[in-house]
Amino acid sequence: MSLYRRKDSPFWWVKLPPIRGESRALQQSTGTADKRQAQQVHDRLAASRWEQDRLGVKPRHAWEEAVVRWLLETKHKATHEDDKAKLRWLDAYLGGKRLDEIDRTLIDRIKYDREKIASAGTTNRYLALIRAILRRACHEWEWIDRVPKFKLFKEAEGRVRSLSPAEFERLCTELPPHLADMARFSVATGLRQANVKGLEWRFVDLARQHAWIPGSQHKNGKPHSVPLNEMALAVLRRQIGKHPIRVFTFRGEPVQQVNTKAWTGALKRAGIADFRWHDLRHTFATWHRQAGTPTHELQRLGGWKTGAMVERYAHVAPEALQGAAARLDAIAGYGAATPQGPTA
């Protein structure tokens, strides 16, 4: 019987014979207790499977199917929970849609509705997620034949806010000891807030002056090697014996939050405005640039995925290119000669 009831469900169920590529019959709920509606679901499903089997027509997949498969395949991503939050918001627009019904018009509506309540950059993260899911549905799962083309908003240059060494010392003086140590370690290593808070002793080798972040905990998904300078080592030595697993603690427990009243109060007392915890990473990069660290080395030290992400710090040390610019002097005949004034 192709339409039947089950004791464990209030809905009507469908059972259809297997088609090419399937090893067993299809059994699924119609999602309705109304027999007439259930029969309509049955008929549509049977017709779709006949077209797929006899005519080679691709089955039409729903957005929800793509979301479930995406979340299963990307559960290792550091942004997995963020993806879930974005997808919950997108459900009001895409829920119930077939993948081949998602077109440029619908995506533009999402784009401009989201931009009304968020920044261009935040909106772009939502659009990029839609694009990634549709591309995988097209190129890997072969559920659709094409992906609609659409543009993201143009974003402003990334923010670069850093402190001078004097400002940083002033801030550390105002911070409670556990936050001051975490701030020093952040500037010494360039590690992101989550990696500093979650650092475990098993990933630290004081003898070799080395630490590492597993790929599962790093933003770009790859293991990140962290050479430890004297500033970082001094901080780590102060944490020895405080906790058996985690490096940074407060009153015997792992630190869960750094953007606290103690942080904002210290900034205010130090006279530092418009500064976030993540700007400690910008401070790390800025100081390295000013010290002459080249792009390829800074990229590896900070764990950036591309060199382009590091180039935004180039402006803070223009003198680093002075030697390169001076190479033309010899060719042009200037050399190290002292300019002469006009002769009488």
71: left (phi over 0), alpha (psi -120 to 50) or beta: alpha
Q: Which member of 93, 126, 143, 304 is catalytic?
A: 304
Please give the pLDDT value at position 296: 87
**Structural domain count of the chain:** 3
Q: Are residues 132 and 264 in the same domain?
A: no
Active-site residue identified among 192, 282, 288, 289? 192
CA distance 319 to 337: 21
| Identity at 133, one-letter amino acid code | I
Question: CA 106: distance to chain centroid?
Answer: 25
Q: Model-level pTM?
A: 0.58
User: Does the annotation count 281 as an active-site position?
Assistant: yes
Helix (H) or strand (E) holding 31: none
Is residue 212 located within the same domain as residue 183? yes
Tens of pLDDT, residues 227-242: 999 999 999 999 999 9
Is residue 32 situated within a structural domain?
A: yes
Residues 170 and 306 reside in one and the same domain: yes
Q: What pLDDT does 344 receive?
A: 46
Distance CA 143, CA 68 (A): 14
Residue 344 within a domain: no
What is the phi-psi region of residue 124: left when phi exceeds 0, alpha when psi lies from -120 to 50, beta otherwise? alpha
Please write the tens of the pLDDT for every residue from 288-343. Answer: 988 888 888 888 998 888 777 777 776 666 555 566 666 677 677 665 544 555 55
Q: Find all residues with CB under 8 Å of 284, minimum gap 6, and list them.
A: 186, 187, 188, 189, 190, 302
DSSP H/E element including 263: helix 261-269
Q: How far apart are CA 74 and CA 89, in angstroms?
A: 19
| Whether residue 67 is found in the same domain as residue 26 | no
Q: Is residue 149 part of a domain?
A: no
Asked whether residue 152 is domain-assigned, the answer is no
Asked about 304 being catalytic, the answer comes back as yes
Q: Is residue 342 situated within a structural domain? A: no
Residue 46: pLDDT band (50, 70, 90) is confident
Which residues contact residue 15 at a Cβ distance below 8 angstroms, ignoring those fewer than 6 apart?
1, 2, 3, 4, 25, 26, 27
Of residues 122, 71, 74, 64, the one with CA closest to residue 95: 64
The pLDDT of residue 315 is 62
81 and 192 in a single domain? The answer is no
Cβ–Cβ < 8 Å for 63, 102: yes
CA end-to-end span of the chain, whole Å? Answer: 114
Q: Please list, residue by residue across 67-87, b when 16 or more beta carbons sit within 10 angstroms of its beta carbon and e when fewer do.
A: bebbeeeeeeeeeeeebeebb
- What's the Cα-to-Cα distance from 206 to each of 2, 190, 341, rounded to whole Å? 67, 18, 61
Same domain, 70 and 48: no
**Cα–Cα distance between 40 and 44 in angstroms, integer?**
6
Half-sphere exposure in the Cβ direction for 40 (13 Å, CA):
6
Residue at 343 is within a domain: no
In the annotation, is 315 catalytic?
no
Range with the largest mean pLDDT of 47-51, 155-159, 251-255: 251-255
**What CATH number did the domain enclosing 185 receive?**
1.10.443.10
Same structural domain, 67 and 198: no
Q: Is 192 a catalytic residue?
A: yes
Model confidence pLDDT, tens digit, residues 80-133: 888 999 999 999 999 889 999 999 999 999 999 999 998 888 999 999 999 999
State which residues form the domain around 236: 165-318
β-bridge pairing 253-254 and 204-205: unpaired
Whether residues 189 and 263 fall in one domain: yes
219 assigned to active site? yes
Q: Do 36 and 86 belong together in one domain? A: no
Quick one: 132 and 182 in the same domain?
no
For 148, the token pair is 């609609």
Catalytic residue among 219, 238, 242, 276: 219
Query: 60, 61, 170, 278: which one is catalytic?
Result: 278
Asked whether residue 180 carries a pLDDT value surpassing 70, the answer given is yes
Q: Are residues 173 and 310 in the same domain?
A: yes
| 67 closest CA partner among 86, 49, 44 | 86
Q: Average pLDDT of 34-47?
A: 87
Cα(228)–Cα(270) distance, integer angstroms: 28
> Among residues 39, 55, 71, which one ends one of the domains?
55
Q: How many CA atoms lie within 13 A of 337 on its CB side?
A: 10
Q: Are residues 251 and 310 in the same domain?
A: yes
Question: Distance between CA 179 and CA 341 in Å, rounded?
Answer: 59
Answer whether residue 328 is part of any domain: no
| Position 249 in a domain | yes
Structure-block tokens of residue 98? 């077939």
The beta-carbon contacts of 72-78 under 8 Å, at least 24 apart in sequence, are 73/136, 76/216, 76/221, 77/221, 78/216, 78/217, 78/218, 78/219, 78/221
Note the pLDDT tens digit of each residue in 58-76. Answer: 778 889 989 989 998 988 7
To the query of whether residue 4 is one of the catalytic residues in this protein, the response is no
C-alpha–C-alpha distance, residues 96 and 270, integer Å: 53
User: One of 281, 282, 288, 289 is an active-site residue; which one?
Assistant: 281
53 DSSP 8-state letter:
I
